[in-house]
A and B are shown apart, each in its own frame.
Chain A
Amino acid sequence: MRFLFITIVLFSLSSCFRLDSFMYNSDSTITEYKLDDFDDEQDFILDDSYDIPEDKIQLFTLSVGVENHEIYCLYIGNQNTINTDTVIFYNHGNKDHMDFYWQRAKLLAHTGGKMRYGVMMIDYKGYGLSGGQSSESGLVEDTKEALSWLYNQGLRSDRLIIYGFSLGTCPAITIAGDATSVLVPARLITEAPFASTDVMAADGGLLDMPGSYYTSDRFENAEYIKDVEQPFLWIHGTADDFLSIKTHGEVVYKNYDGVYSQAERVIGAGHSTVPQTIGFVEYNKLLESFITKKI
């Protein structure tokens, strides 16, 4: 009887916890964005030749959702010429906030030459100074809000490139395959994409465990990529020790069935070391050649 009682109590307590919020490795303790002055851990730091003039860096906020959470956005380039420029929208990864990814955004701003393209990046809800809580749907919602802003500045889909890194591949792929989005990218670039939380679960536990055993966020990139028609560049380090190129990246790439795909398996690169391993100049050339490729 006692065992039965304990079991009943435990059942009644079950589902007390959900691990969704732990999926996000955000840092919301900062009080300001420091960009070049940020001296905490970063994947790499570019030399002075990659500096961006201060008047070409705009930090601003947008209100998102019915709760009007404020998210922080960063635009590199000239806002007044968005109606004629091509823009790379960078969906950053799971770490901290935009300061951590500032060097990556600056590097993107050197694709095809200094500020050849505008670059936009946002902190999703729960990251950096952005309010609210992170969620899979929130990543998409925040990105769509930022795209609406770009649309209102005059950007059109044929001049939009979306680049997703790691966690950021979730909103990037979702929106690239969503014909109802206010802007749909003309080209999609993903670096180190997730396949899904199902694959994360199976990799971690070796067995065929559903991702629903630990989170309701599914990150079904391997399924959403099937809806993407636009030209697609996939970049993944062969030594990625977090998201295996074999079980994550290759599956996403294989499931793409659009007009053009290009795979760049970067020999020896880890999860966060693709640009460094390729070399910054070659990395920019790779992106430029994909963006300008006639298809």
Chain B
Amino acid sequence: MNRIILIAACVIAISSCAPSRYVRPLDEGQKAITGNLGGPLIKFSGMTIPLPLTAISLGYGLKDDLTIYGGMHTTALSFGVIQGELGVVKEFVKPDSLNKFKPGFSMSYTTNLLVDTWEKNFKFWPQVDANLYWNYNLNRNDYFYIGVSNWFELSGFRAHDEPQLNHWIFNPQAGIVFDQPNWSYNIEAKYLATNYSNQNIVVDYAKPWGENGGLGIYLSISKKF
């Protein structure tokens, strides 16, 4: 059943299949284009591999503390599933520029939109993220963050009119951003679907923390201009 597990995982592991878009907003008027690679770790043919999911996104700093963004998931697209996202991130607390231990705080809202080109089935899922972040080196713009990403399933039913029991998918996350004037690089780890069992499902996720959730690893690179 290995192949079926891989293909199922490739496209259906959509939940939380991208890192946080912007933890710290862009400067006012600044634009950024970002590419990212990564996804949940799955077991396949005796190995543990991250799903090679890719996405690109574009962000624009409306204000110093407010950035809007949109993105497209290119792996899903190559399989005929148009997966886009539109979102906004707001910085509520700036990190202390004199004290590296005092974090900043931001929240983002994202609408995840999916439609397949085969049967035109359309779905959307709201997502709310919250992150604390620290400028751990006051001489640079790099920062470390921890936070939570929450996906919400609004549908009351799933296939065959069975009741939908999974309405809130909770994903704690941590990452580090190496921020340079024109480029930034990000690595992020997510504990995916912490609040759900990973047992008896068709996808054989790697299970570093027992019978709940899975681990996702993501790399991003951004060009700012």
Contact = CB atoms under 8 A, between A and B. Distances in A.
A207 B159 contact: no
A251 interface: yes
Contacts of B121: 210, 212-213
A278 interface: no
Interface in A202-220: 202-216
A209 B14 contact: yes
Interface string A221-258: 01100000000000000011111111100010001000
B135 to A, nearest CB: 29
A13 interface: yes
A244 B79 CA distance: 26
A243 B202 contact: yes
Contact of B164 (A22, A204, A208, A246): A208
Nearest to A222: B160
Contacts of B123: 207-210
B139 interface: no
Interface residues of A, number: 53
Interface stretch (A41-49, A102-110, A116-124, A191-199): A191-199
Interface string A81-97: 00000000000001100
B151 A207 contact: yes
Contacts of A216: 118-119
B87 to A, nearest CB: 16
B123 to A, nearest CB: 7
B117 A14 contact: yes
Interface stretch (B2-10, B94-102, B140-148, B183-191): B2-10
A200 B160 contact: no
A200 B11 contact: no
A18 B200 CA distance: 25
A25 interface: yes
B15 to A, nearest CB: 5
B138 interface: no
B119 A204 contact: no
Nearest to B153: A207
A198 B15 contact: no
B152 to A, nearest CB: 9
A14 B80 contact: yes
A207 B14 contact: yes
Q: Which secondary structure dominates chain B's binding surface? A: mixed
A206 to B, nearest CB: 5
A14 B82 contact: yes
Given A200-B8, A204-B12, A16 B114 contact: no
B56 A6 contact: yes
Residue among B12, B78, B82, B114 with max Cβ neighbours from chain A (10 Å): B12
B1 A198 contact: no
Contact of B119 (A11, A210, A242): A210
B4 A23 contact: yes
Contacts of A22: 3-4, 6-7
A195 B159 contact: yes
Contacts of A203: 200-203
Contacts of A199: 158-160
Nearest to B83: A213
Interface of A: 3, 6-7, 10-11, 13-19, 22-25, 94-95, 195-196, 198-216, 222-223, 239-247, 251, 255, 271
Interface of B: 1-4, 6-15, 33, 56, 58, 72, 74, 76-82, 114, 116-119, 121, 123, 125, 151, 153, 155, 157-160, 162, 164, 166, 169, 193, 196, 199-203
Given A25-B3, A204-B13, 6 more contacts: A22-B4, A195-B159, A205-B15, A206-B153, A208-B153, A222-B159
28 contacts: A10-B77, A14-B82, A23-B7, A198-B158, A198-B160, A200-B8, A201-B8, A201-B12, A204-B12, A204-B202, A205-B13, A206-B166, A206-B169, A207-B166, A207-B169, A208-B157, A209-B12, A209-B14, A209-B123, A210-B121, A213-B11, A213-B14, A213-B121, A214-B8, A222-B160, A242-B200, A247-B162, A251-B162
